[in-house]
Amino acid sequence: MSLDTLRAALPAHVVVIDAAALDATRADKSGHRSGAAPLAIVEAESVEHVQAAMRWAHEHDVPVVPRAAGTGLAGGAIAGEGELVLSVDSMRRVLDISVIDQSCVVEPGIRNAALNEILATHGLWWPPDPASRAISTVGGNIATNAGGLLCAKYGVTREWVLALDVVLADGSLISTGHRTVKGVTGLDLTALLIGSEGTLGVIVGATLKLRPLVEGAVWTVGAFFDDEAAAAAACTAVTAARIRPAIMELVGRDAVTMLAAYTGRAMSGAFVLVQTDDLGADATSETVAQILAAHGGRVERTDDLTESDALVQVRRQVHFALESFGTVLVEDVAVPRSRLAEMFRACHDAAARHGVRLATTAHAGDGNLHPTFIFDGPEPSAAIWACANDVFAAGIALGGTLTGEHGVGILKRRWLVDELGERQLALQHAVKAAFDPTGILNPGKAL
């Protein structure tokens, strides 16, 4: 495929064919890697660059893989032979902030943490908070409907997006949604595009719903338990007490053991992290501490920023700790919160049955678990995939779902029909065809 006409439509520096850069787009954080490098990368700096790239791809029937930071965990932004990578990573501007409307307009490449640093100077905050917030992009959050540590109280990305600017497969630009608090004109295409993993369009702008910074002190409670069953029971008891902490996380024993080795910090057992915020956080955290202690937890409670950060880092450093032991495959299932202990047990039993190493953590406040396989070599073994199959089957049997926040990407396509059924899957393919008739947008991903 000649790139001459693509180069003619874009500034010279935007079209990248450097071998190292191409090779980097063959992988993301999922542990999977494509078999060959893509044709080229368009490092878009504007909406017009994205449109020009999509018009070229549409005319030449070239598959396009939208990408930004490449921090995804499902293989959704991995590019291979014959594909064009359309990167919006350089599009990082904040275009507007309205303190009165409590909204902002941003480009897709801006990082979560960087955005909130800017918003904080206006007394505002965008709540989606993935563990990778320092390196994850707002566009990537939207493409996967990302969650994170604060979902239990503040919800997932979909609840904090008002409108989108999207370039379609033929290069045309549409704007969906609205900047008003209410709006029900037509079908909700904004909600449909959120979580579509680059298969329906390329997100080039987003109007985000904000909230004021939380008032009062933040209190943090950390507790170590003998096992996951006791820890999960304690988390369920917190929920049953009608408490909605900002953060409630559970780190399984195997993950804690590896984290101890990684950090040099002495710790063992299963770990529960709870953080309360807003007015009344002190009293709420005291109640949480009492519940955790009643279930056998060895509890620490603090509002000291340094001590609090040390407890929070037990959760935020888990992924890096597991990576230090080998290649990781991070899975993502969600079950009703009342079934959390059963799902931990199912993960443990499946790993023992197949003889694989599996460390599990959870956003316990919303029932989203991350069973993470650790292995040697570049690709998962047949035993790992067999174990994953058992884990997914158990999650669905417990009334859960294949993915709570990472997306389907290429890693979970084979199990989609198990959850959705043939009829619903056919409807989703029909929606995809309406947006992308020739099927060039992120082919082979999500659906």
Position 134 scores a pLDDT of 84
Position 215 scores a pLDDT of 85
Q: Decide if 204 contacts 47 (C-beta within 8 A).
A: yes
- 167: its two tokens: 């370039």
The pTM of the full predicted model, rounded to 2 decimals, is: 0.91
Place of tokens 């509002």: 303
Residue 291, phi then psi, degrees to nearest 5: -65, -45
Q: How far is CA 358 from the centre of its chain?
A: 20
Characterize 216-227 residue by residue with b for buried, 16 or more Cβ atoms within 10 angstroms of its Cβ, and e for exposed. ebbbbbbbbbeb
Position 1 scores a pLDDT of 62
Q: Which of left, alpha, beta for 59 (phi over 0: left; psi -120 to 50: alpha)?
A: alpha
Tell me the H-state helices in 264-304.
281-294
- 400: its two tokens: 């859960």
> CA nearest 347: which of 324, 330, 327, 326?
330
Same fold across 4-87 and 94-212:
no
Domain limits, the chain: 4-87, 94-212, 219-397
Q: Give the CATH number of domain 219-397; options: 3.30.470.10, 3.40.190.80, 3.30.43.10, 3.40.462.40.
A: 3.40.462.40
Pairwise CA distance, residues 405 & 156, whole Å? 8
Domain 4-87 falls under CATH 3.30.43.10: yes
With the CA atoms of 105, 113, 133 and 326 taken in that order, what torsion angle do they form, in degrees rounded to the nearest 10?
140
- The CATH class that applies to domain 94-212 reads alpha beta
Q: Kind and range of the H or E element at 66?
A: strand 64-67
- 349: its two tokens: 């039993």
- 5 burial (CB, 10 Å; 0-12 / 13-18 / 19+) is exposed
- Stretches in the chain below the pLDDT threshold 70: 1
